[in-house]
Amino acid sequence: MSSNSTVASPHVEARLVYAHGLAAIVTLLISVGFGILAAVELIAPDLAGSSPWLTWGRIRYDHTQGIMLGWLGNAFFAFLYHAVPLLTGRPVTSVRLGQWIFGLWNFAVVAPGWVLVLAGFSQPLEWAEFPLVIDVFVVLALVLVAIQFLPPFFSRGLEDLYVSSWYIIGGLVFTLFAYPMGNFVPELVPGARGAAFSGLWIHDAVGLFVTPLAVAILYFVIPAATRRPIFSHFLSMLGFWLLFFLYPLNGTHHYIFSVIPMSAQIGAITASTLLGVDVILNVANLLLSLRGSGFFQRDIGLRFVGTSAVLYLIVSIQGSVQAQMSVNRSVHFSDWVIGHSHLAMLGFASFAAAGGLIHAWQRIPWARYDAMLLNWSYWLLLGGVTVMVLDLTAAGLVEAHLWQSAAPWIESVRAAKPYWLIRAIVFVPIVAGFLALLCGLLLGTRGPALQTIQGTIGLGPIKEIAPKLVSVDQGRP
Binders in 318-337 for other proteins, by CB under 8 A: 329, 332-334, 337
Cβ distance to other proteins smaller for residue 54 or 97? 54
Length of the chain: 477
Closest separation between CB of residue 392 and other proteins, Å?
A: 12
Q: From the CB of 91, what's the least distance to other proteins, in Å?
A: 17
Give the separation between CA 206 and CA 196, rounded to whole angstroms. Answer: 17
Tell me, what DSSP letter sits at residue 255? G
Minimal distance, residue 397 CB to other proteins, in Å: 15
Contact by Cβ (8 Å): 58, 109: no
Q: Considering only residues 68, 200, 206, 373, which one is a binding residue for other proteins as defined by CB under 8 A? A: 200
Residue 154 binds other proteins (CB under 8 A): yes
Q: CA–CA separation, 165 vs 177, rounded Å?
A: 19
> Cα separation of 101 and 337, whole Å?
33
Integer Cα distance of 458 and 451 in angstroms: 9
The contact mask relative to other proteins for 223-262 (x = CB under 8 A, - = no) is -----------------x---xx--xx-xx-xxxxxxxxx
186 scored as a contact of other proteins (CB under 8 A): yes
Could you give the dihedral angle defined by the CA atoms of residues 290, 291, 294 and 297, in that order, rounded to the nearest 10 degrees?
Answer: 60
In the bound state with other proteins, the residue whose beta carbon lies nearer, of 409 and 455, is 409
Candidates 22, 26, 29, 48: give the one binding other proteins (CB under 8 A): 48
Residue 414, judged by CB atoms within 10 A of its CB (0-12, 13-18, 19+), counts as: exposed
Least Å from the CB of residue 406 to other proteins: 7
Nearer of residues 103 and 408 to other proteins, judged by Cβ: 408
Residue 115 interacts with other proteins (CB under 8 A): yes or no? no
Contact window for other proteins (CB under 8 A) among 47-55, 311-319, 384-392, 436-444: 47-55
Which of 254, 252, 276 lies closest to 265, judged by CA?
Answer: 252
Residue 198 near other proteins by CB under 8 A: yes
Q: How many residues bind other proteins (CB under 8 A)?
A: 101
Q: Is 458 in the site for other proteins (CB under 8 A)?
A: no
How does DSSP assign 126-148, residue by residue? TT--S-HHHHHHHHHHHHHHHHH
Span interacting with other proteins, options 92-100, 302-310, 412-420, 446-454, rule CB under 8 A: 412-420
Distance CA 256, CA 326 (A): 11
Cβ-based nearer residue to other proteins, 292 or 475 = 475
Using only the alpha carbons of the chain, give its radius of gyration: 22
- Residue 289: name the closest of 120, 465, 127 by CA: 465
Q: What's the min distance (Å) between Cβ of 366 and other proteins? A: 31
Tell me the per-residue interface mask from 340 to 379 with other proteins, x by CB under 8 A, - otherwise: ----------------------------------------
Residue 78's nearest CA partner among 233, 301, 239 is 301
What is the b/e burial string over 86-100, where b = at least 16 CB atoms within 10 angstroms of the residue's CB? bbbbbbbbeeeebeb
Are the CB atoms for 82 and 360 separated by under 8 Å? Answer: yes
Rounded CA gap, 66 and 27, in Å? 7
Residue 164 interacts with other proteins (CB under 8 A): yes or no? no
Is 139 a binding residue for other proteins by CB under 8 A? The answer is no
Residue among 126 and 276 whose Cβ is closer to other proteins: 126
- Positions in 14-43 near other proteins (CB under 8 A): 41-43
Please report whether residue 187 would count as binding other proteins according to CB under 8 A.
yes
191 sits near other proteins (criterion: CB under 8 A): yes
267 binds other proteins (CB under 8 A): yes
- Distance set, CA 403 to CA 128, 257, 334, 415 (Å): 29, 16, 10, 11
- Choose among 472, 438, 466, 426: nearest CA to 89: 466
Question: Which neighbouring-strand residues pair with 369?
Answer: 445
Q: How many CA atoms lie within 13 A of 395 on its CB side?
A: 25
Site pattern 54..83 for other proteins (x: CB under 8 A):
-xxxx-xx----------------------
Does 451 interact with other proteins (rule: CB under 8 A)? no
- Of 192 and 443, the one with the shorter C-beta distance to other proteins is 192
Residue 133 within binding range of other proteins, rule CB under 8 A: no
When the beta carbons of 288 and 325 are compared against other proteins, the nearer one is 325
* Contact status: 189 vs other proteins (CB under 8 A): yes
Measured over the CA atoms of residue 238, residue 159, residue 96 and residue 21, the dihedral's sign is positive
Sole binder of other proteins in the list 4, 404, 445, 451 (CB under 8 A): 404
Which of 43/95 has CB closer to other proteins? Answer: 43
Nearest to 337 by CA among 353, 323, 352, 351: 323
443 lies in the binding site for other proteins (CB under 8 A) = no
Nearer to other proteins, 334 or 350 (CB): 334
**Do residues 268 and 252 lie in contact, with contact meaning Cβ atoms separated by under 8 Å?**
yes
Note whether 473 binds other proteins by CB under 8 A.
yes
Binder of other proteins out of 72, 80, 125, 346 (CB under 8 A):
125
